[in-house]
C-alpha cells in the first residue's frame, strides 16, 4: 500500500465510516467533488473498483471491504507514529552542561543524575566538578552551581537552598586534642580550611546566647573541598562543614561535632546558600528541568535548618 496515496486513503476511509461523500467532505474540510476525485484516483491507482455508487447510496465492493481493513490499519499506524513524534518533540532531549563544587560529587549530584535520568531518558548530563569560580558564559555551560551569589551583572543568580555549617573533628582527633566548646578555644587546635580566595578567615559563630567573630589560623589548607572533608575524617584537625555532608559521618561514628552550641553563618549572620548561576539568554528546556530537579532534591536534604 503506497504511502504516496495517504490523502486518497484517508478520504476513502472517511467516506466508508460516514457512509456519505458529503459528510466525509465536511469532516475533511474539502468539497464533495474533491473527495470524489480522490476515490476515483485511488481506484485507478490500485486497479480495482472500491465503491459502487448510486444517487442515493453506495456499497463497498469485495475489494473495497478488503482494502478498507488494510487502509484503516495503515491510518491508525500513522496516527500512532505522529503521536510518538509529537511526544518526542515535546519532551526534553540533548545535553545539560554545568559546573559544580567538588564536594557535591560526594553522593548528592550523582544521585540526582541517576534519578533524573530515569524520569528524562532523552537528556544527557555533563558535569564539570571544580572548586574554582567558573563563568558559565565563557565556558559555554547551561549554568554553574556555586556557594556564592554572582558579582557580574552579566550573570543571574538563582537561590537553590540554604544549609547550616558546624565544626567537626574525628573521634581520634578529639581523643588526642580534646573537644573545644567555645570559638576562642580553637586557638590551640589544628584547623583545616579550604584555600579558595573567597574563603575568609573571619568566621562568624552564632548561638542562642551570643554571636562571635573569630579569626581562625589554619594549619592545613586545601584547594579541594573533598580534601578538607577527608583530612578531617583522617584525624588531621577541626573543619567547618555543611551539616548535610557531615551528619552522615556523625551517624557513622567517624566525625563528631565540636563547639556544639554554635553554627557558622555568613558575615551578615545568615545561613549560607547554594545558587545556580547562568547567563541572561534563554535556558534550554532540559537544563531548566535539571536545575529545578537539583533544587527540589536540595530542599529534601535532611538538615537542621528546618528546625
DSSP sequence for 88-146: HHHS--EEEEEEE-GGGGTTHHHHHHHHHHHH-TTEEEEEEE-SS---TTTTT-SEEEE
pLDDT tens-digit profile, the chain (307 residues)? 555 578 888 899 998 888 888 888 888 888 989 898 988 888 888 888 888 876 666 788 898 889 888 888 888 887 777 666 555 556 788 899 999 999 999 888 999 999 999 999 989 999 999 988 888 988 999 999 988 777 777 888 888 888 899 999 999 999 999 999 999 999 989 999 988 755 667 888 999 888 889 888 899 999 899 999 999 999 999 999 999 889 999 999 999 999 999 999 876 667 788 899 998 777 888 899 999 999 988 888 765 543 3
> What are the two backbone dihedrals, phi and then psi, of residue 16, each rounded to the nearest 5 degrees?
-60, -45
Domain 3-90 has CATH 1.10.760.10: no
What's the confidence (pLDDT) of residue 43?
A: 87
Q: Where are the domains positioned within the chain?
A: 3-90, 94-162+273-306, 165-265
Residue 105 contacts residue 130 (beta carbons within 8 Å): no
Output the pLDDT for position 277.
92
Q: Under a CB-based contact definition with an 8 Å cutoff, are residues 220 and 190 in contact?
A: yes
pLDDT at 306: 38
Helix (H) or strand (E) holding 80: helix 62-90
- CATH homologous superfamily of domain 94-162+273-306? Periplasmic binding protein-like II (3.40.190.10)
Q: Say if 94-162+273-306 and 165-265 have the same CATH topology.
A: yes
**Whole-angstrom distance, CA of residue 46 vs CA of residue 53:** 18
The C-alpha torsion from 264 through 265 and 271 to 274, rounded to 10°, is -90
For 190, list phi and psi in degrees, rounded to 5.
-85, 115
- Structure letter (DSSP) for residue 222: E
pLDDT of residue 232: 97
* Interior/surface letters 273-284, b for 16+ CB within 10 angstroms, e for the rest: bbbbbbbeeebb
- pLDDT at res. 305: 46
Identify the bridge partners of residue 144 per DSSP, sorted by sequence position: 99, 277
Q: For residues 114 and 120, is the Cβ–Cβ distance under 8 A?
A: no
pTM here?
Answer: 0.64
Q: 255-258: long-range contacts (C-beta < 8 A, 24 or more apart)? A: 255/168, 255/169, 255/170, 255/171, 256/168, 256/169, 256/170, 256/171, 256/174, 256/179, 257/166, 257/167, 257/168, 258/167, 258/168, 258/169, 258/174, 258/179, 258/180, 258/181
CATH code for the domain defined by 165-265: 3.40.190.10
Q: CA-CA distances (angstroms) from residue 60 to 16, 56, 181, 185, 198?
A: 8, 14, 94, 98, 82
- What is the number of other CB atoms lying within 10 angstroms of the CB of residue 271? 17
Angle, helix 225-233 to helix 243-252, in steps of 10 degrees: 20
The C-alpha cell that represents 30 in the structure block:
474539502
**Cβ–Cβ under 8 Å, residues 177 and 258:** no
Residue 284: predicted pLDDT: 85
pLDDT at residue number 307: 37
Amino acid at each position: 500500500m503506497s504511502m504516496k496515496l495517504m490523502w486518497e486513503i484517508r478520504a476513502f476511509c472517511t467516506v466508508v465510516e460516514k457512509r456519505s461523500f458529503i459528510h466525509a467532505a465536511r469532516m475533511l474540510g474539502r468539497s464533495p467533488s474533491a473527495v470524489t476525485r480522490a476515490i476515483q484516483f485511488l481506484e485507478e491507482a490500485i486497479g480495482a473498483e472500491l465503491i459502487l455508487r448510486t444517487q442515493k447510496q453506495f456499497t463497498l465492493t469485495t475489494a473495497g471491504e478488503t482494502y478498507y481493513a488494510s487502509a484503516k490499519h495503515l491510518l491508525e499506524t500513522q496516527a500512532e507514529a505522529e503521536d510518538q513524534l509529537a511526544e518526542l518533540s515535546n519532551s526534553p532531549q540533548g545535553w545539560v552542561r554545568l559546573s559544580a563544587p567538588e564536594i557535591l560529587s560526594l553522593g548528592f549530584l550523582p544521585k540526582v543524575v541517576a534519578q533524573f535520568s530515569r524520569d528524562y531518558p532523552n537528556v544527557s548530563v555533563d558535569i564539570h566538578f571544580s572548586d574554582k569560580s567558573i563563568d558559565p558564559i565563557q565556558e559555554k555551560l547551561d549554568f554553574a552551581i556555586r556557594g556564592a551569589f554572582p558579582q557580574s551583572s552579566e550573570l543571574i543568580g538563582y537561590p537553590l537552598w540554604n544549609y547550616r555549617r558546624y565544626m567537626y573533628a574525628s573521634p581520634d582527633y578529639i581523643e588526642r586534642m580534646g573537644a573545644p566548646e567555645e570559638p576562642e578555644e580553637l586557638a590551640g587546635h589544628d584547623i583545616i580550611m579550604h584555600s579558595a580566595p573567597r574563603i575568609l578567615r573571619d568566621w562568624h559563630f552564632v548561638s542562642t546566647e551570643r554571636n562571635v567573630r573569630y579569626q581562625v589560623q589554619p594549619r592545613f589548607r586545601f584547594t579541594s573541598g573533598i580534601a578538607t572533608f577527608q583530612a578531617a575524617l583522617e584525624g588531621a584537625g577541626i573543619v567547618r562543614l555543611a551539616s548535610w555532608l557531615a551528619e552522615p559521618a556523625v551517624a557513622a561514628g567517624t566525625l563528631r561535632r565540636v563547639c556544639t552550641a554554635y553554627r557558622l553563618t555568613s558575615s551578615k549572620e545568615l545561613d549560607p546558600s547554594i545558587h545556580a548561576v547562568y547567563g541572561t539568554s534563554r535556558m534550554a528546556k532540559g537544563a531548566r528541568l535539571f536545575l529545578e530537579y537539583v533544587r527540589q532534591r536540595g530542599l529534601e536534604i535532611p538538615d537542621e535548618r528546618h528546625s
